[in-house]
């Protein structure tokens, strides 16, 4: 029943079609949306906007700000129609990437932990419209996000107007998984009271001003998640090297037996490397990370995990099905926070996080390129790797030694582009 998700007659009066809601988007607007990786992002309104522009042939361009990458319904469909003129802070879509490298889209590549402050302090301009996915909205002005939190608290606070997409494919059992805590702007900011990865310090919902809600659109579209690449022999070797290295560090007294909280980057390599913990002797693992992928669910399933803190659940199609099927179990193990908290340097440093990220290229001095092919073509962006690499207790980067079927070395004398200097890289 939609009444269970949209509580209050005044809010139900704001129900609209995606087509009608798309007309709230005007040329030149700065649009902020929910979503962090292809999870918890709006789907119906972007598709309706793309259809509107295609049919009307109007000239419409926007600045699009999201938590990180989002699904094809947003980045892909809008990029195909040249609707996105400026993009922040991270993307993984082929059409969007091509438009960036061809010079059509201005791309601003920023550390993910910095973005909410940029929004809240007005450094990116006024957010004209926020479009956010939720599983529930209350008459008092509380929304419950779905499979990611990202920058949603910041954009709904700062936006002039809000469109809410209520997604009925996202189960109500997600209620309780979120921990929403917002920091104040300088100079009034206080210490973030997280001293363990399991600490809950906020609310289970995001407060919004219901007077700013212009439209509520109902959808049942699922997150457009993608399968991971198969695990290969090199992935297994990297995982084994990591496990042996951590065992050595414990043996010589530089790490505790339980390990400090782990962070793992986005993608197939990081997901594969984490699988190495499944058959290891490590138990009661804590994660203080940004993205929760299939391998972490597998570790929960075999009883290896104590708690997982992140900002997004980003799974393969099979992983997403398993997540929904066993949601009550995962709800007890997983905490989803705003990215300003999940990626916060203060908390990462305090907890002594062990950061595990992937590289495009590394050089013999220890510098890491995470973003550019041959130093000039953007891949995805720096994402959260810089948040964790510079502030972690131990910073580890992974890459296979060659790319393009062995034709290009990923280990070079001088990196063609440097995102993480030798001072931020341990292993």
Write out the catalytic residue numbers.
290
User: From CA 352, how far away is CA 331, in angstroms rounded?
Assistant: 25
| 1 touches 10 (CB < 8 A) | no
* C-beta neighbour count of 193 within 10 angstroms: 10
| DSSP character at residue 178 | B
Residue count (the chain): 427
398 forms bridges with which residues in the sheet? 358
- ∠ CA 321-322-328 to the nearest 5 degrees? 115
User: From CA 142, how far away is CA 205, in angstroms rounded?
Assistant: 6
- 299 alpha-carbon distance from chain centroid: 20
Tokens of 316: 């393969």
The helix or strand, by DSSP H or E, that contains position 87, with its residue range, turns out to be strand 84-88
Burial letters 346-358, b for 16+ CB under 10 A, else e = ebbebbbbbbbbb
User: From CA 274, how far away is CA 299, in angstroms rounded?
Assistant: 9
List % helix, strand, coil for the chain (3-state, nearest 5).
30, 20, 45
Question: Could you give the C-alpha distances from 284 to 4, 119, 184, 191, 306, in angstroms and in order?
Answer: 37, 37, 33, 27, 5
User: From CA 330, how far away is CA 336, in angstroms rounded?
Assistant: 11
3-state secondary structure string across 335-352: EECEHHHHCCHHHHHHHC
């Amino acid at each position: 029943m939609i009444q269970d998700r949209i509580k209050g007659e005044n809010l139900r009066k704001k129900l609209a079609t995606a087509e009608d809601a798309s007309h709230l988007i005007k040329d030149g607007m700065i649009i902020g949306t929910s979503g962090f990786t292809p999870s918890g992002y709006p789907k119906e309104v972007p598709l309706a906007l793309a259809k509107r522009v295609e049919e009307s042939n109007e000239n419409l361009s926007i600045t699009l700000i999201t938590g990180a990458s989002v699904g094809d319904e947003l980045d892909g469909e809008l990029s195909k129609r040249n609707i996105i003129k400026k993009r922040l802070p991270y993307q993984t879509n082929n059409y969007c990437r091509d438009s960036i490298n061809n010079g059509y889209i201005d791309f601003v590549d920023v550390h993910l932990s910095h973005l909410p402050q940029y929004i809240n302090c007005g450094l990116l301009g006024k957010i004209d419209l926020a479009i956010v996915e939720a599983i529930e909205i209350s008459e008092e002005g509380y929304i419950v996000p779905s499979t990611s939190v990202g920058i949603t608290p910041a954009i709904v606070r700062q936006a002039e107007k809000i469109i809410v997409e209520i997604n009925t494919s996202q189960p109500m059992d997600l209620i309780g998984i979120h921990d929403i805590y917002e920091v104040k702007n300088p100079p009034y900011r206080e210490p973030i009271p997280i001293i363990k990865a399991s600490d809950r310090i906020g609310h289970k919902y995001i407060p919004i001003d219901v007077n700013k809600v212009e439209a509520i659109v109902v959808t049942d579209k699922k997150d457009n998640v993608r399968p991971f690449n198969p695990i290969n022999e090199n992935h297994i070797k990297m995982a084994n090297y990591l496990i042996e290295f951590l065992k050595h560090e414990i043996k010589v007294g530089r790490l505790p037996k339980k390990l400090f909280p782990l962070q793992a980057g986005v993608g197939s390599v990081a997901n594969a490397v984490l699988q190495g913990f499944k058959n290891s002797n490590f138990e009661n693992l804590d994660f203080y990370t940004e993205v929760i992928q299939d391998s972490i669910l597998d570790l929960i399933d075999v009883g290896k995990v104590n708690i997982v803190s992140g900002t997004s659940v980003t799974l393969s199609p099979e992983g997403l099905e398993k997540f929904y099927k066993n949601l009550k179990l995962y709800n007890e193990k997983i905490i989803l926070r705003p990215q300003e908290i999940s990626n916060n340097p203060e908390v990462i440093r305090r907890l002594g996080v062990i950061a595990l990220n992937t590289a495009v290229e590394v050089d013999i001095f220890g510098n890491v390129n995470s973003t550019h092919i041959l130093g000039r073509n953007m891949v995805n962006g720096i994402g959260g790797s810089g948040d964790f690499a510079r502030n972690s207790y131990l910073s580890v980067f992974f890459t296979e030694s060659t790319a393009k079927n062995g034709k290009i070395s990923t280990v070079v004398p001088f990196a063609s582009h440097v995102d993480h200097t030798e001072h931020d890289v341990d292993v």
